[in-house]
Every structure is written in structure tokens, then in C-alpha cells.
Amino acid sequence: MPIPSSKGGTDTVTKRHSLAIYLLVLAGIMFRSELALLLTTQLVYLLLQPLISLQTVILTGLHSAAIALAISIPIDSYFWQRPIWPELAGFFYNAIQGKSADWGTSPFHSYFTSFLPKLLLNPLIPLLLIPSAFYFPANRRRAAGLVVPSLAFIAIYSLQPHKEARFIIYVVPPLTACAALGADYIFTRRSRSLINRLLSILIILSIIGSFVASTIMLGISSLNYPGGEALFKLHQIVASSSSNNNSTTTEQTKGTVNVHMDVLACMTGVSRFQQDFPTPPFSLYLAPFVALLLPSESNNTNPKPISPATRFHYDKTEEPATLLDPTFWTRFDYVLAERPETVIGKWEVVDTVYGYAGMEILRPGAVSASGFDEGREVGRVWEGMRGGDDISSVDDEESREGSGDGEIRTAKGMSMLETFYDEAQRMGLYGALREGTRRWVTKGWWVGPKMEAKIRILKRVL
């Protein structure tokens, strides 16, 4: 990152560049191999200026690489149970062998036309602020140092057919810093001309708009992790089942709960940390604060803790031949499944987890076609692979039963806060916000994310 010339001479700049090289080499060898390409574009620019010597680059790089390899190879080899340098193996598999293309490909221009605008979000950054930083002579050299290596990195990385935003996220800080140079130049001179004054107002409005847009996008993105939410709900189901003294469940008898999780669950929030310490969805973080404002008789819905004696064993088998073996499924107490019809045996749907499925427009009185409003699958017994009807084929008319004249009503005797809290518990924060908006703000209209059933939590029927 550039520093004012008044705060350091050549030695200071060289030390900062050496530190940057040192950290990039460490991170590239230990964590993300694509940083080698970002480091290359940065070094080429620095050497061409010239802002650093080749000797400094070589000595700093070798020293950092030796330390990084000494840390990465022994530790990773221990956990992989074989000699390995993971980042080299990953680079060879994805880039040299081209296996990353198996996960989808995008056109060469996608990083520039799609991914980068979404990462920067504020349209003024590429359209006004970065060009302004280059236009004003005082900022031109510093702007070039931030932008040229970053764009070169994206251009070279675009040769890879498989593209994801996370592969180029490293360029966001330098590009934002360059935009800040342009914004600073305009804003500090806003009193000198009407144009600068108007541009300063536009910059402020764009920052506020970007914050609002990013907050909305963050909320929508949180709906893409039904696997993590399903795992948390499973733990709460087991805790409630174990605390029921009037029934004896399989997990109570043997102290171990065996769970199979399918591919979708594992790809959408299930992790080792989530397996050991499941974290609740945001709605349940919010619920205790709302509950403090409710009458004491309403404030009794805190989830029960799981007995320390209860252990969970997770299975993530995905081989098709194994999944077709009926004896494979007999070992499990619960299953997190995207498609219940593929689960062999007799199972009960104890909960359904919904996830993002695009956008929808609902008129007053309309019910989402996804079935999110009713949740009638819960309690249904499912016989997978044995001729049972598909759970997704619940009659549409039946699922809309009880809607009356289509008006959205608050339960009798419940305050607005109590209603919101109840719906947050039943439908999650998204459902509560959606229904609260329709009921109290838009008079029944809704334009927003559509939710559809993603994962069913199945319990073995004994």
C-alpha cells in the first residue's frame, strides 16, 4: 500500500515491500496457491518501476518459503496421514490437470463483467473514483501501483475456465484503496467548484446505498446454508426427545445418535465445527432479546441442552452403490436428506429446512407456491424406495387450506412483538420478517426471496 513520501524514505518503502513479499509467500505456500500469481504480478510491477531490487526479492522469498514449507509439510502430512504439500497438490490437480473445470466453467470475461462488479458493489468505484485517481496527477503513480498488478492478476487468472469470486477477492482492498484516493481528492476540494460539491454528495449517497445493498445481500446469502441450520435443529430435536421422560428413544438407550448427511447438507453449512458445536441461525440469536420484552409466560422457549452422555456419529457416504443397499440405512437414527425418496426404510419427517430458491412476488392473500408457509410435511411418515408417494407432491390445494379469504391475520390476543417472536421460532427470522412486512407494512404484498424445501430431517420409525 502506498505511503506519503513525508513519512519515510527509500529504506522504509523497501522494508514495507519486503514485508509484503514475506507475508504473501507464507500465505501462498500454507493456505492459497493462487496467491503466487498475485505475488508475481506485484513483483513484476515493482521491478519494472523500479521500486525494489531483485536481490531483495530473492532473499526475502527464499527465507519466507523455507519457513512456510517447514510449517506446512509436517503439520499437513500428519493430518493427511501421508507426505504432502497440500497447496502444490491442489494446484497440480486443479490447474495442471484441469480438474477444476469439472465444477463448471465461465467465459474469459466473467471476472471483469460479473464477479468484480459484485465484489466492489458500489458502481462509482469503477465508473468514477478509480478513473478520477488516474486523472489527477498527484494520485496517478500511487493509483497505478494499486490497480495495474491487480488487473493483471485477474486477466491472467481468467485463463482458468472455472471461476469463483473467492479466487480474486484479494484485489478488493487495493482497488478500494485506489477508489479512496479519487474520493479523497474530490471531497477535499468540494468547496472549489459546483461539480466537486455534487460529486461529493453522490459519493456519500453511493456509500449509503452500497451499505444497504450489501446488508440485503448478506441477509439473502444467509439463506443459502440449510445444511448448517438442519444440523442445529437436529441437535435440538434430540435434546427435546432425550428430555421427554414419557418415551424411550433409540438414542437414549445406546447413548449414541447415528446421523447420515447427504451431499447438499454437507455443502451448505455442515462442518466439523458445526458438528461438535452447532450454532443457531440468526433468528435464534435474536429471539432471546425479543423474549426479554415479552410477558414471562411467553419467555419459556429456550432450547434444552443435550445430555453430555449423548454422542453424535456422522456419516457422509455418497457412493451410489452403497446408498442403494438397504442394510446401510439400518444403522442410522436420523438422516438429513435433500431427496427423502432415496432413503431406504420407514422414516418420519420431523422437520423441514428451507433455503433460498430465487425471488418471488406475492399478492395480498397469496401463499408461496414453495410450501414454505404451511410446512405440512412435518409428522408425515415416509417409506423411501418402497413405493411411497413423493413428499414434494403434497396436494397444492390442501397445502393452502385454511387461508380463508387470503388475509394475513395476527393470532387473537397476541401482540405484534409476540407474533413476531412466535413466527421467528416457527419460520425463522426470514419468515418472521416476511410475514411481519406483509401484515404491518405492505398490506399483504411481498417482493423478495422465495424459500423452498431443501433438507428434510428424517427420524427412523421403529
Each residue's pLDDT tens digit, 299-336:
444 555 566 667 899 999 999 999 999 999 999 999 99
* Pick from 2-11, 201-210, 358-367: least confident: 2-11
* Per-residue pLDDT at 248: 46
* Pick from 13-17, 318-322, 337-341, 410-414: least confident: 410-414
Answer yes or no: is pLDDT of 126 > 70. Answer: yes
* Per-residue pLDDT at 130: 95
Q: What residues does each domain of the chain span?
A: 5-221, 227-460
* Per-residue pLDDT at 409: 45
- Does residue 386 or residue 187 have the better pLDDT? 187
388 pLDDT band, cuts 50/70/90, is very low
* Pick from 120-124, 212-216, 304-308: least confident: 304-308
198 pLDDT band, cuts 50/70/90, is very high
* Per-residue pLDDT at 132: 93
Answer yes or no: is pLDDT of 403 > 80. Answer: no
* Per-residue pLDDT at 9: 67
390 pLDDT band, cuts 50/70/90, is very low
Q: What is the mean pLDDT of the chain?
A: 82
For residues 293-300, give the mean pLDDT: 47
- pTM for the complete prediction? 0.73
* Per-residue pLDDT at 415: 65
For residues 184-191, give the mean pLDDT: 92
Give the 3-state secondary structure of the chain: CCCCHHHCCHHHHHHHHHHHHHHHHHHHHHCCCCHHHHHHHHHHHHHHCCCCCHHHHHHHHHHHHHHHHHHHHHHHHHHHCCCCCHHHHHHHHHHHCCHHHHHCCCCCCHHHHHHHHHHHCCCHHHHHHHHHHHHCHHHHHHHHHHHHHHHHHHHHHCCCCCCCHHHCHHHHHHHHHHHHHHHHHHHCCCCCCHHHHHHHHHHHHHHHHHHHHHHHHHHHHHHHCHHHHHHHHHHHHHHHHHCCCCCCCHHHHHCEEEEEECHHHHHCCCCHHHHHCCCCCHHHHHHHHHHCCCCHHHCCCCCCCCCCCCEEEEECCCCHHHHCCHHHHCCCCEEEECCHHHCCEEEEEEEEEEEEEEEEEECCCCCCCCCCCCCCCCCCEEEECCCCCCHHHCCHHHHCCCCCCCCCCCCCCCCHHHHHHHHHHHHHHHHHHHHHHHHHCCCCCEEEEEEEEEEEEEEECC
For residues 341-357, give the mean pLDDT: 90
